Each structure stands twice: as C-alpha cells, then as structure tokens.
Structure 1
Amino acid sequence: MPTLRRPRITLPTTTAPAAPPTRLPLPALLALATAVFVTSLTETLPAGLLPAMSADLGVSESAAGQTVTVYAVGTALTAIPLTAATAGWRRKKLLLAAMSGFAAANTVTAVSENYTLTMAARFVAGVAAGLAWALLAGYARRMAPAHLQGKAIAIAMAGIPVALSLGVPAGTFLGKVLSWQVAFLVMTGLTVGLLAWIAALVPDQPGQKPGGAKTPMPHALRVPGVTPVLFVTLVFVLAHTVLYTYIATFLDELGMGGSTDLVLLVFGAASLVSIWIVGALIHRRLRALTLASVLLVGVGAAVLAAFSGSPALVYVAVTLWGLGWGGAPTLLQTAAGDAADKGDAADAAQAMLVTLWNVAMAGGGVFGGILLDLAGTSSFPWTILLLLIPVLLAVAAARRNGFPARTPGNPA
C-alpha cells in the first residue's frame, strides 16, 4: 500500500532590502576616480602635445587642437540619447563597455598616422565619454550614505585634477622624451588595468526598470535651480577651455614653451588642493565655494592678461587658475544633483550637464582656434574675463535654488 506524503507547502519568502551604506566604499570610489582620470586625460592630453601632434599629422596647431573639439562633439551628440538607450543596463556593465571604448580609441590614436583616422578615433573616445560621464556621478552618489554623497562625488571627481596635475604633465614629458604616441599607448595600458579593477571591486547597481518613469528634459529644465547650474556649466567650462586647449601654444608665445610640463604640474597641484577643500566643505559652503571658484579663475586670467611677460607671475596666475578650477566639476555636479533631486529629475539633469559640458569643450576648442588665428594667444585671458562676468552674475542670482546659501540637510 503506497504511503501518503503530506504535500510540501512552500511559504513565500521576501528578500530584505539591502541595508543602506554607512561609510564610503573607498576601493570602489577610487576605481571611479581612475575612470574619471582616464576620461579627463584622454580628452585633454593633446593640450600638452599639440606642437608634436601637428608636425606628425601634417596639420596646423589650430587643426590639431580640434582633436579636443571632436572628442567633446562626440560626447555632446551622444550623451543624452545613449543615456536614454542604456537606462535599463546594469551600471557596472555599462561602465565596463565605456572604458573598453577608451582602450580601443586610444590605441587607434597612438598608431594612426592619418589626421582623419585620428579624428575618427577621438570622436569614438568622446562617445565612450558620453556613456561614462552620464553615470559616474550618480554611481558615486548611490554608493554612499546620504550625508556623505557630496564627499563621494568629490572622491570620484578627484580624477580630473589628478589628470591635470600628473597626467597631462606626464604625457607632455613622454611626448618630449619619446613621442606623443607613447603617451596614448600608456593610456591604453592604464585602461586595461582599470577594467580588471572595476570587475573585481566595484559593486553593481541596477539600471532603470523597464517601463519606469523617465523624466523628460523639458521637465527637468523647469525644476528650480537646474537651469542656472546648466548655464554656469556651459559658460564656465567654455572660458576654461579656450585657454587650456592651447596652453602649449600660449606658453610658446611667451618664450616658456620648454616649461609647459612644469606649468601644467603647478596648475594640477593647485587643482588637487582645490578639490580637497571642496570635498571637505561642499555640504556646508556650496555657494561660497562656487563664487570663490569663479573669482579665482578670473583673477588668474587678469594676471595673465596684464603680467604675462613675467614668468614668475605666470606661475602665480596658473596657481590661482588651478585653485579655482580644480573643485569646479564637483561643485557643478553636486549643484545639479541637489537641484534636480527636488523634482525627481536627477538623471535628466546629469545627462544635460554632461552634454553642455562637452558642448563647451568643443566650443572652447573651436573658439580658441579662431582667436589663435585672428588675434593671437594674448586674446585668451581677456576672453576668459569677459565670459566669467555672466557666470559670476548667474551664481550670485541663484541664491535660493541652484547655488543656495543653505544646502539640503545643512541649515547653515
């Protein structure tokens, strides 16, 4: 006689939500900082190599400067549509895909002897940057507890001043001692190592759920504070890029061409100090830090405009410029995130910020090239001063939203 078995009853189980983080995941954040370093250095590396690149590619220095422009164009054209198209992707998968694009593009740039092929590779690198930049700040924020999100973004964005302080001078030195192609091959090797680091130590994050609500760009622009932050981003980055793209040519005209790597090292060291200060104070002093950032860059430009004949004062000006600029990416990313969070428009605002940032980078390369051909390098500092006037006014006017005196969670 068969034995009867009591049917097994399976009770529904629920998975407890993951506990929110209580401290900063430094290994993962440093991997993101290295990704920021790779994207920033890939974009700006030609700034210290323009004379050598123009000679080897058989084009003028203003044409070689467009290798920065076409990178920025690639990012500006693709950041918003690619962000929307990949919204459902796991964040780690997307970051690995973007960094693989950098490895391929830098390899092609290094081996290319043709200007058109080089420009195509730079465009592809810009497309990869559009993917990376649209997710890096949000990735860092989601890894950290709420009260440490600003510091998490500061750590991730530290890759920018490190690229400026160490990467560009080192690339310039390699270009001088060996060749500019070696500098780009080193970037490929660094990126391959970074891919392994990300795979091993960066926690994954989900993308947007299928059918999830997507904030349209026009709605994000109506959220109080978003538009002023985007305007400041556009014009401030434009002002910076006009000179930075052609810094080697600018110094050549001053008789300091042999010191380009040292000047960039001073600029980057000041930028590192800046981002350390910003990381420590950003949650309490976002508005004051942003005003100080604009003013320091303006004073540095004024010194370059009036006293560029003195090498010592050029170093003073570059130090002020670095102190003002180093923390700017963190300030602008945080301001955009804080403003957009009020209207649930963070993803849309970050995609627009990345796009406008690179529109400004592209515009700076083109505008700087035009100024170089028509008015010479002496016009660069005066142009920066003119552009910074509306930037300062916009930050000052956005007292309640955008660049508030009081930031979320900090009453004073």
Structure 2
Amino acid sequence: MSTASMVKGTAVPTPLPWSGLLALSTAAFTAVLTELLPAGLLPRMAPALGVSEARVGFLVTGYAAASFAAAIPVTALLRGLPRRPVLLGALLGFALSNAVVALSSSYGVTFAARLAAGVMGGTLWAMLAGYAARMVPAERRGRAIAVVLAGITLALALGVPAGTALAGAVGWRATFGLLAGLAVLLMGWVRWRVPGFPGEARGERVPLAGVAVLPGLPVILSVTLFLLLGHQVMYTYIAPFTDQAGFGRTDVVLLVFGASTVAGIWGTGLLVDRRPRATLLGALALCAAVMLALGRSADAPPVLLAAVALWGVAFGGAPTLIQTALVHASGPAASDVATSLQTTVYNAGIAGGSLTGGVVLERWGAPALPWTAFPLIALALTAVAVGRRHAFPAAPGRRSHGD
C-alpha cells in the first residue's frame, strides 16, 4: 500500500479505512458494555436469578477473571489462524453468551455464560490494536489505534449509563438480548468492511517468552502496570474520596471524568503519530500533578472538579499512546501476543490498584488515596523518561541514544 498519493506534486496521506476501523471500535464498545452492564443492573437481576446483589456483582468479577486467565494462552493457541475468522468467532461468542444471559433463570448457567464471554473478551482485546495497525501505513498506526480504542471510552462514558437506562425502560433481559443482536450485526459489518489477514506462519513465530523480552516490551509493560495501579487506587474509591472532600456528588464527578476522557482520546489522536513520546510524558505528568492537587486541595469543589477533568483528559489518551508504543516495539505480526501480555498486566494493575486502595482506605482514610497513587504514576512517568530508545522513541522509526 502506498503511504501517500500525489496531487499536483503534493503528498497526500492515505485516508484511513474508516468503516473498518469503526467496526473494530464498535467491537471494543460491545466488549466493554458486555463486561460492565451487570454492575448497573444489580437490583433488577438479583430477584430474577434468586441471588443477592453481591452475587450478581460476581458476574462482572467472573468475566474479568476469565479475561485475565485466557488472554495469553488463547492468543498463543490461535496465533497461527487467519485473523478475521478469530475476530468473528469472538463476536459470535459475545452474541451467544449475552443471549444465554437474556434467557437464563439459573445463576449457575448465567455465571458460566459470563465466563465464556470473558474468554471472548481476552481474545478480542489481544487482537484489536494489532488488527488496526495492519490496516494502515506505519505512520498512521497511532491514529488508527486511537479510533479503535475510542470504543472503550464511549462505552464507559455513554454505553453503560445508556444501557442501564434502557434496562429500566424495556427490562434487563431485553437489554442483553439487544446486546446479543448488536454482536450479530457487527459480525456482518466486520465480514463486509474489515480485511482478512493471515496468522503467524509457524516458522516465523517468535516464542511467547521471546515476545516478552523484545527490546522495549518490558519497559512498556511496566508503564502499563504502574499507571493502572495508581489510577485504580484513586478511581475505584472516588465515591468515598468525594464524600470526605465535602462535595458528595459522585455522579457529577464521574460525568466530568467520563466526558474529559473523550476529549483526551480525541486530542491524542491528533498527536500520537507526530509526537507520541512527548504526548505520553505530558499525559503522565498531568496525571501525577492531578494526584498532588487532589491530595492538597480536594476540599475545594472547583479544584476537585478541575483536577478530575484534567485527570480524565490525561488518562483518556494514555492507553492509546502506550498501545501504539507496544505495536511499534513488537511489530504488527507479533502484536497480538504482545497485547495479550499487556492485557494480563492491565488487569493485574486494576486488581492490584483496587486492593491497594482498599487497604489504604481502611487504615488511613480517603485523604491518603492520592498520596498513594502519586508515586505509582511517578514511576510510570520515570519509566517513559528513561525508555527513550526502544520503548518510547520521539517518533516511530526514530531512536534516541540510551534506554
């Protein structure tokens, strides 16, 4: 594929394959909505399944655990298969599991369906960024990945609240049924507009352990871990922190954060292919500064809301920047396996951050949360600063001295 066409002597960038990228973005949206929707439907699902609300909450836990456990082994098992059939298989799995949830009155059957959906989720997340990278020239990979990962942001900011409201209007079973239907329609869209790519040839596959130690990969995975640890320490317990700060409107705080992440991923899409390293350094520095502001002045509502807005902007763009660095470091062919490693590290960061935040909250109270998050995010920032050769070069294809 030519990276540019010539019009009257001027190089014009190859246009993005928008329809295919938006199909992948919708797949990301569907996966996040499938994972998190039960959290908004606890009071409605519990009586129908004959269990407590806490056990309905385990439907989210089970999905996450299955995704965590499946990402690496399933991706390694399927890495030799053509990519589009694997993608279609994951979407079919979402459709079937959501249909089972919509129809089941047994908690055990419902939980099993959620575990199956989690396996599909782990498979899907491992391949989306690499798929997007293979659809565009190297100099446009960052923008393509940003488009795909925007589906996550839209699901968090709009999809989960809208799905919860829809369940109030038509019932939770109908909502899961519609989600199953969305996955079926998405299969047709993918078959129509997303190109097929071959799997990795057996003789060309880098062993799993070899992928993990590719130049730059350990640094990128450590940045992922430290950022998610710090973020989840604060985000998981934003409600008690907001209460102790005297504001008490967690819904407003979450709305501000969600809306700001949309702005963050949009801005990142403009910069990721031109200044990826500087943009990531700025995003992490802003996250760290926000934690300092929350630690010192969160009892002033204007400061609290402004800090949360900046936090959303910074964090909204960070996953795209880190994912793009991962694809450049691993190469598109090995990106599925590399991303499966990152998916596992990502989920470990979520679990570890939530656990750490809970311990801190119980022992020292909510005011200690931002001071716990700050050094973790500072470690992520430091890792980016020192990983300037293979992990986070100034721009794709350019390498600085030192690492």
Tell me the TM-score normalized by structure 1: 0.80
Cα distance change, pair 200–221 in 1 and its aligned pair in 2 (3 A): closer
Moved more, 163-172 or 377-386: 377-386
Task: Return the alpha-carbon distance in structure 1 between the equivalents of residues 299 and 38 of structure 2.
Answer: 25
| 3-state SS of paired residue (2:272) | helix
Letter in 2 for 1:321: W
Q: CA deviation at 1:178?
A: 7.2
Give the root-mean-square deviation of aligned CA atoms.
3.5
* Counterpart position of 1:215: 206
Task: Determine if contact 1:44/1:245 at 8 Å carries over to the other structure.
Answer: no
1:277 matched to 2:267? The reply is: yes
Q: Out of 330, 338, 351, which is 1:349 matched to? A: 338
| 3-state SS of paired residue (2:275) | helix
Q: CA deviation at 1:132?
A: 0.6
* Counterpart position of 1:74: 66
Q: Out of 293, 303, 309, which is 2:283 matched to? A: 293
Task: Return the alpha-carbon distance in structure 2 between the equivalents of residues 365 and 337 of structure 1.
Answer: 28
| Matches for 1:111-260 after TM superposition, within 5 Å | 119-174=111-166, 184-209=176-201, 211-245=202-236, 247=238, 260=251
Q: Deviations over 1:140-177 (max 9, x none)?
A: 11111222122111111111221222123324545677
Task: Return the alpha-carbon distance in structure 2 between the equivalents of residues 304 and 164 of structure 1.
Answer: 23
Q: Unaligned stretches of 5+ in structure 2?
A: 5-13
Letter in 1 for 2:318: A
* Counterpart position of 2:11: none
* Counterpart position of 1:58: 52
Moved more, 317-326 or 364-373: 364-373
Task: Return the alpha-carbon distance in structure 1 between the equivalents of residues 152 and 53 of structure 2.
Answer: 29
Letter in 2 for 1:297: C
Task: Determine if contact 1:68/1:362 at 8 Å carries over to the other structure.
Answer: no
Task: Return the alpha-carbon distance in structure 2 between the equivalents of residues 106 and 371 of structure 1.
Answer: 36
Task: Return the alpha-carbon distance in structure 1 between the equivalents of residues 194 and 103 of structure 2.
Answer: 31
| 3-state SS of paired residue (1:223) | coil
Task: Determine if contact 1:368/1:380 at 8 Å carries over to the other structure.
Answer: yes
1:321 matched to 2:311? The reply is: yes
Task: Return the alpha-carbon distance in structure 2 between the equivalents of residues 301 and 52 of structure 1.
Answer: 36
Q: CA deviation at 1:397?
A: 1.4
1:97 matched to 2:89? The reply is: yes
Task: Return the alpha-carbon distance in structure 1 between the equivalents of residues 196 and 334 of structure 2.
Answer: 22
Cα distance change, pair 182–380 in 1 and its aligned pair in 2 (3 A): farther
Cα distance change, pair 29–373 in 1 and its aligned pair in 2 (3 A): same
1:334 matched to 2:328? The reply is: no
Letter in 1 for 2:88: L
Task: Determine if contact 2:141/2:273 at 8 Å carries over to the other structure.
Answer: no
Q: CA deviation at 1:128?
A: 0.6
Moved more, 375-384 or 191-200: 375-384
Larger radius of gyration: 1
Cα distance change, pair 72–240 in 1 and its aligned pair in 2 (3 A): farther
Task: Determine if contact 1:220/1:345 at 8 Å carries over to the other structure.
Answer: yes
Moved more, 156-165 or 41-50: 41-50
Task: Determine if contact 1:266/1:315 at 8 Å carries over to the other structure.
Answer: yes
Cα distance change, pair 94–325 in 1 and its aligned pair in 2 (3 A): same
Task: Return the alpha-carbon distance in structure 2 between the equivalents of residues 113 and 316 of structure 1.
Answer: 45
Cα distance change, pair 264–101 in 1 and its aligned pair in 2 (3 A): farther
Cα distance change, pair 30–109 in 1 and its aligned pair in 2 (3 A): same
Q: Deviations over 1:20-67 (max 9, x none)?
A: 89432110100001111122333344565678778985255xx76654
Tell me the TM-score normalized by structure 2: 0.82
Moved more, 40-49 or 395-404: 40-49
Task: Return the alpha-carbon distance in structure 1 between the equivalents of residues 239 and 101 of structure 2.
Answer: 20
Q: Deviations over 1:313-347 (max 9, x none)?
A: 332232112101111221111111112239x7434
* Counterpart position of 1:14: none
Task: Determine if contact 1:144/1:152 at 8 Å carries over to the other structure.
Answer: yes
| 3-state SS of paired residue (2:274) | helix
| 3-state SS of paired residue (1:400) | coil
Cα distance change, pair 218–87 in 1 and its aligned pair in 2 (3 A): closer
Letter in 2 for 1:58: S
Letter in 1 for 2:396: T
The total of aligned residue pairs comes to 389
1:38 matched to 2:27? The reply is: no
Cα distance change, pair 396–65 in 1 and its aligned pair in 2 (3 A): farther
Letter in 2 for 1:338: H
Q: Unaligned stretches of 5+ in structure 1?
A: 1-17
Task: Return the alpha-carbon distance in structure 2 between the equivalents of residues 50 and 245 of structure 1.
Answer: 18
